[in-house]
Structure 1
Amino acid sequence: MARFTGTLWEGITLARYRLGADPDAAPRAVAIPVAWDVEAGEALAALAPGDAPTTLPRAAEAWIQRGIARGRKAGVLDEAEAHHLAEGLRGLLLARRGAAGAETWRNQAGEPRFVLNLPAFLEPEGGFDIEGYEEAVALGVRFLESLGQGKATRLRLGFADLAGLLAALPLPYDTEAARSVGACIAALTRGAAEAESGRLAAKLGAREPVALLWPAPPVCTAIPGLAGAARMALDRAAASPGLRHSTIVVLAGADAAEALLGAETAGISPAAGATRAVATDSGAAEVPTRAAIAAAQRSPQRVGQILAPVGDAARRAMADAVLPFLHAAPPAPAALPAPARPHVERPAERGLAAHPRSAGNNFYAVVGGHRVAMRTAEDAAGKLREISFTLAKEGAAYRSLMDAFAQSVSIGLTAGLALESFVDAFSYTRFGPSGVVEGDPDITRATSVLDWAFRRLAIEYLGRHDLPQPTDEDCAGDSLSSAPQQAPLLPLDLPTQSAPEDSVRARRKSFRVVA
């Protein structure tokens, strides 16, 4: 780590693992700070491009230095500002307070984003590091401006895991007090972001007028000083002569960057429950979520109330509270409320009581050696309305895709789409993991986790026992899962040798377009 001498990376002790970004990816060597959990290593495996061994300092410096170089070339940063920004970004990442989004780690095209992990700004005595948060917002804006070489008029800076912050306060999500905190966090973020945009405009030139039409934030919150800080931040932004950007504060769905920071939910999504499934030597086990542990430290007898599942009305109410201070509407919550389950108490988890679950079911199985839990939520009539998955050892990228998929299905069910349509569409879909199913007496083999899940739902909610078990050949790695996939892509025999006319036009004439 010689090239990191003199930076915050110097002296950081790293733990080395071999981890995969998803079940089908080959494990790669990754190194993360020794105090971080293995899930952060899986997230790093998903974020760092390629499949070669990597370390957190090496992968992070790639995007940090890319942004610094572009900022200096465009005149956004001078030498002192470049040094301050680089150290600030390293500090945010090491404290798991903030990081660039996945597209920036992977150097992919698209609008880059920067995310801040709200629970990481909590102070030991129960306060919130308001000054540190405002500085983190400014660093994020400065980095995105530099990465865009001073040309971007739209930035994407947001925060994650409001639910985890509320749990630590401790406040139930569906309360006016929780919405006041959410509104003030959003107002503080916007004020600090626009103030930094104003500072950049003073140096590089203003391109947008200052927005003055926003409602006053709540006058008090459960976080001491937050309401006053939010109002002051908005006042500072209003005093700017102009802004550099038309859009800055935008909440987005989670990717592996949130997992690296330890955020459990995206944006303003409610908590997914008080427990989650993890892999152990003896099988899948339920352990408390970070939100549950934080809630238990302040109010051990109220964890079930604090993390109780919430409905669409509570989500809309939270969105309505924060929307006036965002530059774009927040996405639909990605985390689905999941019923809490009793779990075996461990020394670090004392004070967490077992909590009653809401209407719904929990299903557990091992599909091709990979443990999966599926939770369902029902309406008053017992009709399926929501599903969510917990994957015990899969990588962060795979889990994020499954979360997004479950959210899409839940939105469809809530909108009135028939479960039968989803069963017909996703039964026998094929991707890893697949193979023998353990723990489900009705399903012995599955071509994918989704195949198991939707055939399980068909049995449970539709009373269907007509879906046959796939064969071992169907579950093999080189099999195709349906008749359309098994059909040839072109209805002709391809030539074994090249055509005499070796031209693009001649090659095109040797194929037919098939409707």
Structure 2
Amino acid sequence: MAHIDRTLWDGVALRRMRAGADPDAAPRSVALPRGWDAEAGVALAALVPGSGPVALPRAAEAWIGRAVRGGLKAGILDEAAAASLAEGLRTLLLTRRGAPGAEVWRNDGKAVQAEPRFVLNLPAFLEAEGGFDTQGYAEACALAVTALDSLSGAKATRLRLGFADLAGLLATLGLAYDSAEGRATAGAIAALTRGAAEAESGRIAGRLGAREPVALVWPAPPMATPVSGLAAAARAALDAAAQSPGVRHQALLALARPDAVEAMLGVETGGIAPMAGATRARLTAAGEVAEVPTRAAQRVMQDFPSQAGTLLAPVSELARAAMREAVTHFLHAAPPAPLALPAPAQAVPKVAPTMRRHAGTTLHVTVGGHRVALRTAEDAEGRLLEIAFTLSKEGAAYRSLMDGFAQSVSLGLQRGVPLAEYVEAFAYTRFGPAGLVEGDPAIPRATSALDWAFRRLALDYLGRQDLPQPSEEDCLPDSVGSAAQQTPLLPLDLPPQSAPGRDTAASPRGRRRGLRLVG
């Protein structure tokens, strides 16, 4: 890794995790900076082709090296500018301020030469004292344009420089999305992005020749914003761009739908989309999904607790349209339409964002050679509220069915259906995997994963010690059960019904009576 020595990567502590590009993909080893969340690891696994190990420094240096070589060859860069570009791109990535699109990470040559993409994470430019780093943002815009043009070998006529998580930035600044101040800030950011990008395109045109005339009439940027220095920086960037003799690109500024790049940077809302609420589903280090407060909600509750209800509330379609109008004047392409309507309003707490926090446990066993995990959640009094399964070897369809089944049981438990009813219904059910149970000394064999799960729940929550263990024959794949369990399905005649209070051979209690008690 000589190309990484004596760079910003020196001294960066990495942590390793296993992550797959999607739930059905085999996990691969991923190395990323310590402190980055598990979602960044999943995103990196999706960005880099292949199934082998992937490390952020190596993956990033691959496209940084292509940018440097392409810029030098095309005459965009000299040696000093090439070194500055490489170090600037490393800085943007390590601070999670910006990164190129997925086509660059995957080295898709045709897409890179057509319309390469670079996204900037707006909340990452917040300053410690609560302002916005306008100078750093303008420099990042220029750096992104140079990188994209270099990656295309100066062949691309249209670039897609964009920003993301506008909603998170506004909330953190204490500005409501549906407000004149919020729209003025968004318009100024769009104007600053446009001016900085056009000015850099003009600088490249000074070296390689202009392809397009410079715009002489600009949309008027906001005269003032609540963010100190932002409006002045936007006007200065547009004025600097107007001094260029021409530009190299037909289009520069375009917002795109978020992909794995945004996830790797920690972006929570794409482009100018509003927030969907105060919480989001997040992948934990253990590979589980948990509902946690958004980063914007955490900052709002710390800095503007009295305004949380306004800053974190979902907005109307009229507010979305007004925000689009505020920024579209400065874009070279209209923002993508929203994928869905805003989420229903969520209650915002006065002190801290609400979190579902229940006690519970996760049990790991092997049933018939297949790993099974049973997760439970309890209320404050220890009553079972939810169950969920994780199955390692099964197909997507099977896992989806089990997820749906677990959700149905959870809904029933939360609405008062006794756990004992579920135990009666699903203990001793027969389907694969079945056989020996490893990891649970109290249940050595099970006729199915559901059989083990509900007998374990009966032990833990009902204190049931009367449920016998099935024999080895009962757990065989070709075990057919009793004659009553083989009753033909409809439309044949139904078996005779027993009188109320009597057990039939087909009922769970009847099935248990047919089992032999073994040691």
**TM-score (ref. length: structure 2):** 0.68
Matches of 1:131 and 1:157, distance apart in 2: 17
Equivalent residue number for residue 190 of structure 2: 186
Equivalent residue number for residue 275 of structure 2: 271
Q: Say yes or no: does 1:230 pair with 2:197.
A: no
Map of 1:248-287 to 2, 5 A cutoff? 248-278=252-282, 285-287=290-292
User: 2:327 corresponds to which letter in structure 1?
Assistant: V
CA-to-partner distance for each residue in 1:389-445, whole Å, 9 max, x for gaps? Answer: xxx99xxxxxxxxxxxxxxxxxxxxxxxxxxxxxxxxxxxx768523124433899x
Alignment partner of 2:408: what SS?
Answer: coil
Equivalent residue number for residue 313 of structure 2: 308
Give the drift of 1:301.
2.5
CA-to-partner distance for each residue in 1:206-254, whole Å, 9 max, x for gaps? Answer: 1111112222111111210000110111011011111111100011000
Matches of 2:165 and 2:354, distance apart in 1: 23
Map of 1:144-293 to 2, 5 A cutoff? 144-278=148-282, 285-293=290-298
Q: Tell me if structure 2 keeps the 8 A contact 1:301–1:352.
A: no
Matches of 1:35 and 1:177, distance apart in 2: 34
Equivalent residue number for residue 65 of structure 2: 65
Matches of 1:55 and 1:271, distance apart in 2: 31
Matches of 1:231 and 1:284, distance apart in 2: 44
Structure 1 residues 112 and 472 mapped into 2: Cα distance closer, same or farther (>3 Å)? farther
1:134 aligned residue (138, 158, 173): 138
Structure 1 residues 432 and 187 mapped into 2: Cα distance closer, same or farther (>3 Å)? farther
Sequence identity, in percent?
61
Q: Tell me if structure 1 keeps the 8 A contact 2:300–2:308.
A: yes
Matches of 1:82 and 1:370, distance apart in 2: 53
Matches of 2:397 and 2:288, distance apart in 1: 23
Unaligned runs of 5+ in 1: 356-367, 372-391, 394-429, 445-470, 474-515
Matches of 1:85 and 1:277, distance apart in 2: 36
Does 430-439 or 105-114 show the bigger shift? 430-439
CA-to-partner distance for each residue in 1:301-360, whole Å, 9 max, x for gaps? Answer: 3222211111211111100000111111111134753346579x9xxxx942449xxxxx
Q: Tell me if structure 2 keeps the 8 A contact 1:186–1:325.
A: yes
Q: Tell me if structure 2 keeps the 8 A contact 1:271–1:291.
A: no
Matches of 1:152 and 1:318, distance apart in 2: 30
Alignment partner of 2:25: what SS?
Answer: coil
Give the drift of 1:285.
4.2
Matches of 2:287 and 2:92, distance apart in 1: 37
Alignment partner of 1:116: what SS?
Answer: strand
Structure 1 residues 72 and 284 mapped into 2: Cα distance closer, same or farther (>3 Å)? closer
Give the drift of 1:198.
0.6
User: 1:441 corresponds to which letter in structure 2?
Assistant: S
Q: Tell me if structure 1 keeps the 8 A contact 2:165–2:271.
A: yes
Q: Tell me if structure 1 keeps the 8 A contact 2:297–2:353.
A: no
Q: Tell me if structure 1 keeps the 8 A contact 2:278–2:353.
A: no
Give the drift of 1:21.
1.2
Structure 1 residues 213 and 431 mapped into 2: Cα distance closer, same or farther (>3 Å)? farther
Q: Tell me if structure 1 keeps the 8 A contact 2:40–2:264.
A: yes
Q: Tell me if structure 2 keeps the 8 A contact 1:304–1:340.
A: no
Give the drift of 1:78.
1.3
Matches of 2:134 and 2:42, distance apart in 1: 30
Q: Say yes or no: does 1:435 pair with 2:401.
A: yes
Structure 1 residues 278 and 81 mapped into 2: Cα distance closer, same or farther (>3 Å)? closer
Alignment partner of 1:338: what SS?
Answer: coil
Matches of 1:60 and 1:354, distance apart in 2: 37
Q: Tell me if structure 2 keeps the 8 A contact 1:274–1:339.
A: no
Matches of 1:283 and 1:24, distance apart in 2: 15
RMSD (Å) for aligned C-alpha atoms: 2.9
Give the drift of 1:151.
1.6
Give the drift of 1:2.
4.2
User: 1:48 corresponds to which letter in structure 2?
Assistant: V
Map of 1:308-457 to 2, 5 A cutoff? 308-334=313-339, 337-339=342-344, 351-354=351-354, 433-436=399-402, 437-441=404-408
Q: Say yes or no: does 1:107 pair with 2:125.
A: no
User: 1:7 corresponds to which letter in structure 2?
Assistant: T
- Computing the radius of gyration from Cα coordinates, the structure with the larger value is 2
**TM-score (ref. length: structure 1):** 0.68
Unaligned runs of 5+ in 2: 356-371, 376-388, 391-395, 412-429, 433-519
Equivalent residue number for residue 123 of structure 1: 127
Matches of 1:35 and 1:10, distance apart in 2: 16
Alignment partner of 1:52: what SS?
Answer: coil
Q: Tell me if structure 2 keeps the 8 A contact 1:286–1:341.
A: no
Matches of 1:307 and 1:46, distance apart in 2: 30
Higher RCO, Cα 8 Å, sep 6+: 1
Alignment partner of 2:335: what SS?
Answer: coil
